[in-house]
Structure 1
Amino acid sequence: MKSLRARLAADPAIGTGNVLQRVLAHGADPAGPGLTFDTAVDHFPAEHPLTLGELDDRVQARTAWLHEHGIGRRDVVAIWATEAQDIVLSFLALARVGAIPALMNGKMTPAIADEYIRRLRVTAVLADAAHRPLLRTDVLAEPRELGTGDRGKAPEHYRHHADDPVVITHTSGTTGVPKAVMHTHTTLYAALKHLLTMPQAQGTDRILNALPIPHTATVLMVNQVLGNRAEMLLLSSQDAPDVLRQIERWKPRAVYGFAVTWAGLAREDLGAHDLDSVRMWFNTGDCAHEPHIRRLVAVGTRETVTREGRTSVKGSHFVDGLGSSEMGHNGFHITHTIDSDHYGRCIGKPYQFAEAAVLSSAGDELPPGKAGLLGFRSPSVSPGYWNDSVNTYRFRLNGWFLTGDLAYRDETGHYFHLDRIPDAVAGFEGPQLFTSMSEERILAALPEAADCTVVIVQENGRYVADVMLELDPDAEDRDRTADVTSAVGEDVAAIIRTVTTVAADDVPVTVTGKVRKVALREKRLAGADA
């Protein structure tokens, strides 16, 4: 008899909109693992591990509430909240009635949240008690109110077509109002169907989810752990001290997060904490910096095969790559251990379900070693931005989705990330000025630097670069201009204007922790004009 994972992989009806239902339909034990949240769910206390049956029961109650209040097929319902359970349970219930949940990060400013909701043209809004009074838009209810529904009155599960839209998430909003990324029943499950046919990765039986809860990545993780019959604790806060505390308390074997969380963890004295349970760190979104990865793989344990058999050794795995809401899953992957030396912003190779290429501005594929636009093709790619065909087609070129990144590949087929397009000065001819690669080189050269930000602006007809270093608390107070200049390479070294020391709070970030370099550039240009 096929295993449950094999049956799910072969199920033509399964997709992002019905995973919970299909897992139960294929015979999963209702007493087995569902999801665990860090706050209370209805009458269950915080960190109660909901069984699969309890999870289904709580989703059914919310489905009944939505049905009773007239929410159904194709209704777009925005959810603005902080707690993981508010967002995830509302998403699962809205999918059951055929609605389209639009998940919003709780750190959005109210003005941007209102404008984002307006652009979505929503049917209704759910907002928690903290966010409800911040909106000018009418709010239908707080997400926790949905739990009062009578599960016995829940309608039949909506039957999704493969192309049905099932969720809207959003980009980081580095340049203003985030773009609304739409995914269908099949696009956001395509990668998971592939992974179900592969051996389950080490550590993925007990996962700490430190990803932003309203992000596409968390939707993927919810569906992945339900299919794998794994345990997962979802954190409402992704701040490094909260993540570190939960690792020690909950003892996960894998931790999933964004680069900003790894940078935060790397600032801590990891040797002073009990992190032995961790077998794997999994990064998505922006690729991570080498010094942060090295500090993480030095802790935890992993299993390896020796002549004496399978044994545990000191040091964990770090799976790096590059992903985005639009890509639908990490498009690339590379695994690091304590012995790794393949860094330099290497994001590895594409997954088997995906294709990638480095492109010219005309969409022609460039040879190895040549920097260009990163193109991506996969059944997991979003069909487009909700109510925004202009941007949907702007990011398509010659059959490829443009990720917004600059990259190159080497002769072995490994891809290397250079920068985000808006942050670089890099035509196909002329100067090659990359901020992300410069940050990588500076961090590798300065062990006392916990983090680093480089911005490039044009001033009086020439480019200048400003470097902001966040140093360890015990770092020596000295001028590091010479160290920075020797680290970044000729082109960037020639334009360095300032090297300053900053605190973490001095650098503006988006709701998902990405540095808002556009804001830093505008600030510097305003200062130059003053």
Structure 2
Amino acid sequence: MRSLRAQLAADPSIGAGNVLASVIAHGADLTGPGLTFDTAVDHFPAEHPLTLGELDDRVQARTSWLRDRGIGRRDVVAIWATEAADIVLSYLALTRVGAIPALMNGKMAPAIADEYIRRLRVTGVLADAAHRPLLQEAPILGEPKELGSGDPAKAPEHYRHHQDDPVVITHTSGTTGVPKAVLHSHTTLYAALKHLLTMPQAQGTNRILNALPIPHTATILMVNQVLGNRAEMLLLSSQDAPTVLRKIESWKPHGVYGFAVTWAGLAREDLSKHDLDSVRMWFNTGDCAHEPHIRKLVSVGTRETVTKQGRTTVRGSHFIDGLGSSEMGHNGFHVTHTIDSEHYGRCIGKPYQFAEATVLDSNGSELPPGKVGLLGFKSPSVSPGYWNDSVNTYKFRLNGWFLTGDLVYRDETGHYFHLDRVPDAVAGFDGPQLYTSMSEERILAALPEVLDCTVIIVQDDGRFVTDILLELSSTADPAADRDARVREAVGEEVAATIRRMSVVGQDDVPVTVTGKVRKVALRAERASGGEASSGALVSATQSTGGAGGGESIEARAGR
């Protein structure tokens, strides 16, 4: 008899809207693992490991509550909450009735939340007690916790999804203002997971600590992945480093999933003081991680390896890095690091087998290895577009490729290297080549006392200048002269543009709701005359082969 994972991989009807029901329909043990939340779920206490049957019962209760209030097919319902249970259980229930949950980060500013909800044209909003009073005109259905009072015995029949049905809306980080609403369909958001079901289950994926932002696409992917793998997962409502460390020590996960901001936070801590031996694997998505942060993490934990003496456990864990976004639907690339790794330099690895990637100029022509250009991506996991926003949906498509908004190059072996986000860089075939992310990478690698750094480029009197913000370890002297070391690290071209270096604290740099630095706000603050230096300063120019010729690359995209 085929395994459950094989059955799911072969099921043409399964998708992101019906994973829980499909797993049960294929005969999964109802006493096996469901999900574990860090807060109470109805009558169950915090961190009670819900069985598959208990999870299904709690979702059915919420489905009944929604049906009684007339919520059904194609209704868009926004969820604005903080607790993981409120968001995930509401998502599972809304998809069961054919509605489209729109997940919102709890840290979103109220004015932006109101405008985001207005643009969604929602049927209603589920807002928790903390967020409900912050909304001005939104149609409130109730608080997510209220849904648990429904009668699971009276739940309606599961809505039957078509492969193209919209099943969830997530949003980008909002680095430039109101986030873009990213649509996912029944098929696209499960395409990568279906492929992974045909592969051997990776080490460290049987017991997972989810430190990803809960309303993000990545968490929905993880919920569906662990249900299909019949694995255990604890979902954290907060992703700060002290919380993550405490839960690793108490819950003993084998895998920890998070964003680059979480790894930077963990790297600030003295990891030798914590019991992290259970961790086999760290999995990063979103922006690729920095080398010094990865090296600190792979030095702790343990992993299994095969030697001449057979399978054995050795010191040091795996770190799986890559590049992903809400629009890509799943990490598009992957590269694995251990204690012995040397392939850094912002290498994001190769595309997954289910995906294709290339480097493009502004006309959509593919560039050869070694040439910097726009990252083009194709995959069955790519979002169909932005909800109620056809302008941006088509703006980020070029010659059949989705434009991720990243500047990259690939080497002769097919490995991709990330240089910067398009709006943050200045790159020209005949002019300067200034990359903020790569400069940050080089500074962190060269100056061990720098815990994190931010590099921004602005225009000042018609020229490009670079400002560098350094966050130092507690033992470092903030008055020490680091000018020469920083200039050597970033290289001559960037060094020639440096206007000032500043020592800052961890809370001095503005970030988005998912912890990404808001470089657009820093540019606005530091640009001459107090005016924002917009993404128009980004002009990456690539040779087209003619003498002195070039093509201008200008694009916008946001993760």
* TM-score past 0.5 threshold: yes
SS of the equivalent of 1:458 reads: strand
1:370 matched to 2:371? The reply is yes
Q: Deviations over 1:96-122 (max 9, x none)?
A: 000000000000000000000000000
1:484 matched to 2:490? The reply is no
The answer for the alignment partner of 1:110 in structure 2 is 110
Q: Is the 8 A contact 2:460 2:528 kept in 1?
A: no
Aligned pairs (5 A) from 1:198-277: 198-277=199-278
What is the percent sequence identity of the aligned residues?
A: 83
The answer for the alignment partner of 1:495 in structure 2 is 497
Aligned pairs (5 A) from 1:167-178: 167-178=168-179
1:196 is displaced (CA, Å) by 0.1
Q: Is the 8 A contact 2:458 2:465 kept in 1?
A: yes
- Supply the AA of the counterpart residue of 1:213: I
The answer for the alignment partner of 2:355 in structure 1 is 354
- Supply the AA of the counterpart residue of 1:192: L
Q: Is the 8 A contact 2:123 2:139 kept in 1?
A: no
- Supply the AA of the counterpart residue of 2:437: S
Aligned pairs (5 A) from 1:105-504: 105-136=105-136, 137-477=138-478, 478-504=480-506
1:244 is displaced (CA, Å) by 0.6
| Residues in 2 aligned to 1:151 and 1:48: alpha-carbon distance in whole angstroms | 20
| Residues in 2 aligned to 1:479 and 1:180: alpha-carbon distance in whole angstroms | 45
Q: Deviations over 1:360-385 (max 9, x none)?
A: 00000000000000000000000000
TM-score after normalising by structure 2:
0.94
1:491 is displaced (CA, Å) by 1.2
TM-score after normalising by structure 1:
0.99
Q: Deviations over 1:222-249 (max 9, x none)?
A: 0000000000000000001100110000
- Supply the AA of the counterpart residue of 2:397: R
1:429 is displaced (CA, Å) by 3.9
Q: Deviations over 1:226-277 (max 9, x none)?
A: 0000000000000011001100000000000000000000000001100000
SS of the equivalent of 1:188 reads: helix
The answer for the alignment partner of 2:517 in structure 1 is 515
Q: Is the 8 A contact 2:98 2:159 kept in 1?
A: yes
The answer for the alignment partner of 2:57 in structure 1 is 57
SS of the equivalent of 2:79 reads: strand
SS of the equivalent of 1:304 reads: strand
| Residues in 2 aligned to 1:495 and 1:186: alpha-carbon distance in whole angstroms | 47
| Residues in 1 aligned to 2:373 and 2:327: alpha-carbon distance in whole angstroms | 19
1:33 matched to 2:33? The reply is yes
| Residues in 2 aligned to 1:363 and 1:479: alpha-carbon distance in whole angstroms | 45
| Residues in 2 aligned to 1:326 and 1:64: alpha-carbon distance in whole angstroms | 31
Q: Is the 8 A contact 2:292 2:444 kept in 1?
A: yes
| Residues in 2 aligned to 1:479 and 1:71: alpha-carbon distance in whole angstroms | 62
Q: Is the 8 A contact 2:170 2:181 kept in 1?
A: yes
- Supply the AA of the counterpart residue of 2:279: V
1:527 is displaced (CA, Å) by 5.9
SS of the equivalent of 1:168 reads: strand
| Residues in 2 aligned to 1:500 and 1:368: alpha-carbon distance in whole angstroms | 36
1:526 is displaced (CA, Å) by 5.8
1:427 is displaced (CA, Å) by 3.2
**CA root-mean-square deviation:** 0.9
1:152 is displaced (CA, Å) by 1.0
| Residues in 2 aligned to 1:247 and 1:87: alpha-carbon distance in whole angstroms | 22
Q: Deviations over 1:424-482 (max 9, x none)?
A: 01134421110000000000000011000000001101000000000000012302111
| Residues in 2 aligned to 1:48 and 1:527: alpha-carbon distance in whole angstroms | 56
SS of the equivalent of 1:144 reads: helix
SS of the equivalent of 2:72 reads: coil
| Residues in 2 aligned to 1:91 and 1:429: alpha-carbon distance in whole angstroms | 50
Q: Is the 8 A contact 1:72 1:98 kept in 2?
A: yes
| Residues in 2 aligned to 1:514 and 1:428: alpha-carbon distance in whole angstroms | 29
- Supply the AA of the counterpart residue of 2:499: R
The answer for the alignment partner of 1:87 in structure 2 is 87
| Residues in 2 aligned to 1:290 and 1:122: alpha-carbon distance in whole angstroms | 42
Q: Is the 8 A contact 1:459 1:528 kept in 2?
A: no
1:138 is displaced (CA, Å) by 3.0
| Residues in 2 aligned to 1:82 and 1:476: alpha-carbon distance in whole angstroms | 38
The answer for the alignment partner of 2:556 in structure 1 is none
| Residues in 2 aligned to 1:259 and 1:142: alpha-carbon distance in whole angstroms | 31
SS of the equivalent of 1:140 reads: strand
| Residues in 1 aligned to 2:87 and 2:428: alpha-carbon distance in whole angstroms | 42
| Residues in 2 aligned to 1:15 and 1:450: alpha-carbon distance in whole angstroms | 41
- Supply the AA of the counterpart residue of 1:113: A
1:65 is displaced (CA, Å) by 0.2
1:139 is displaced (CA, Å) by 1.3
- Supply the AA of the counterpart residue of 1:308: Q
1:525 is displaced (CA, Å) by 1.7
| Residues in 2 aligned to 1:526 and 1:255: alpha-carbon distance in whole angstroms | 43
- Supply the AA of the counterpart residue of 1:82: T
Distance 1:490 1:62, change over 3 A: same
Q: Deviations over 1:202-221 (max 9, x none)?
A: 01000000000000000000
- Supply the AA of the counterpart residue of 2:511: V
- Supply the AA of the counterpart residue of 2:374: L
Task: Point out where structure 2 has 5 or more consecutive residues left out of the alignment.
Answer: 533-559
| Residues in 2 aligned to 1:310 and 1:336: alpha-carbon distance in whole angstroms | 19
Q: Is the 8 A contact 1:372 1:428 kept in 2?
A: no
1:46 is displaced (CA, Å) by 0.1
Distance 1:59 1:488, change over 3 A: same
Q: Is the 8 A contact 1:79 1:126 kept in 2?
A: yes
| Residues in 2 aligned to 1:374 and 1:529: alpha-carbon distance in whole angstroms | 29
| Residues in 1 aligned to 2:530 and 2:20: alpha-carbon distance in whole angstroms | 55
SS of the equivalent of 1:55 reads: helix
Q: Is the 8 A contact 1:376 1:403 kept in 2?
A: yes
1:87 is displaced (CA, Å) by 0.1
| Residues in 1 aligned to 2:313 and 2:466: alpha-carbon distance in whole angstroms | 46
- Supply the AA of the counterpart residue of 1:70: G
* Number of residues of Structure 1 aligned to a counterpart in Structure 2: 530
SS of the equivalent of 1:204 reads: coil
- Supply the AA of the counterpart residue of 1:95: T
